[in-house]
Amino acid sequence: MEDTFKDYANGSVNKRLFDTHRGRRIVRKEDYRLTHSFSESEKRHMEEVIGTYGNEDGDTLRRYTHGEKPWRETRGALSDGESDNKDIADSLMMEYYHN
C-alpha cells in the first residue's frame, strides 16, 4: 500500500488525503483537478464505496471506524478522544478489508 493510514481519535484516516483536505468539512470533485487516470476496476470500487457511505454523516462514519478491527487494535487501550496517531499496519487493513 502506498498510502499510510493513521488511527486518529475520530477514526482511520488516510494521512495524505487528510493533509490535502485539512480543515474542509466537504470535499467536492469540482474543487480539484484530476491528475490520475483510474482503471475501470478502481472506478467501480469507488462507486461502490460512494454508494454505500456517500450519504452518511461524520458521526455515523466515526461509529463505523471505531467498530473496525484495524482502528481498535492499533489504538489498544487509549480512551475515546485520546490521540497517538500511530500507523495502522497494512497487514491489519488487508486482513480486515480484503474480500
**Chain segment 26-64, per-residue pLDDT in tens:** 877 787 777 788 899 999 998 999 999 989 998 999 999
Q: What angle do CA 65, 68, 70 make, to 5 degrees?
A: 105
Q: How far apart are CA 40 and CA 33, in angstroms?
A: 19
* This model's pTM is above 0.85: no
Helix (H) or strand (E) holding 9: none
